[in-house]
Amino acid sequence: MRVTDIFVRGIVRDNPVFVLLLGLCPSLAVTTGLVDAVGMGLAATFVLVCSNLIVSLARGVIPTQVRIPCFIVVIATFVTIVQMVMSAYFPDLKASLGIYLPLIVVNCIILGRAEAFASRNKVYRSVVDGLGMGAGFTLALCAIALVREVLGSWRLFGVPISGGADSYTLTLFVLAPGGFLAMGLLLALFNYLGAERQRRLALAEQGVEESPDEPVTDASGT
């Protein structure tokens, strides 16, 4: 598999939220605003890339029997670094993310990639995998947060959108049920687009041409 395929796979085919359904707790808890979503996504991406890098470098040294505890120690180290940086430079963001920032340690996306990919692949492939999965996770958080923040409070990155907020807000979306609703709608859309893409690829492999105005015909015209 090419490096570009590894990166794109984390965003589309193996998107951690919309396809693998991993990391759902922060996906619902910190997506009431785009600022929090971006902050959580970047923090998780940093931990993903760095932990994949270290796990891949040490994959021949770590005994199989204790690999999971070792992976958790590596992940916890980088989560601690993220917390210290946020405490120093972004205290408001750290306070807003709350308990979900240290809980990155047990995020199944990060531990899963360390176990399933980084521990079995070379360093550069593991780093790209971390970047792809992190980008997919961040984009998923931002998509959910965009729906919830705009519809729920008529704001964008915390800034009010002009045009009469009281006329457009649906307070449900900033509440817990709204998180499930927004995610369900986006999950359905993502799955539909993925199924449509697979259908078109299957038609292309079979030599079938699809026209919007004519019935589907194969290469022989039948």
Instruction: Look at residue 1 and tell me whether its pLDDT is greater than 90.
Output: no
Using the structure block, give the residue that is written with the tokens 């931990």: 47
* Residue 18 DSSP class: T
Point out the least confidently predicted range of 63-72, 133-142, 191-200.
191-200
Residue pair 71/50 in contact by the 8 Å Cβ criterion: no
pLDDT averaged over every residue in the chain = 87
Helix (H) or strand (E) holding 188: helix 176-205
pLDDT at 219: 47
Count CB neighbours of 166 within 10 A.
Answer: 6
Instruction: Look at residue 38 and tell me whether its pLDDT is greater than 90.
Output: yes
Q: Quick one: pLDDT band at residue 158, thresholds 50, 70, 90? A: confident
* Residue 217 DSSP class: B
Residue pair 41/141 in contact by the 8 Å Cβ criterion: yes
* DSSP SS3 for 159: strand
What is the residue extent of each domain of the chain? 3-146
Q: pLDDT tens across 64-76, in order? A: 889 999 999 999 9
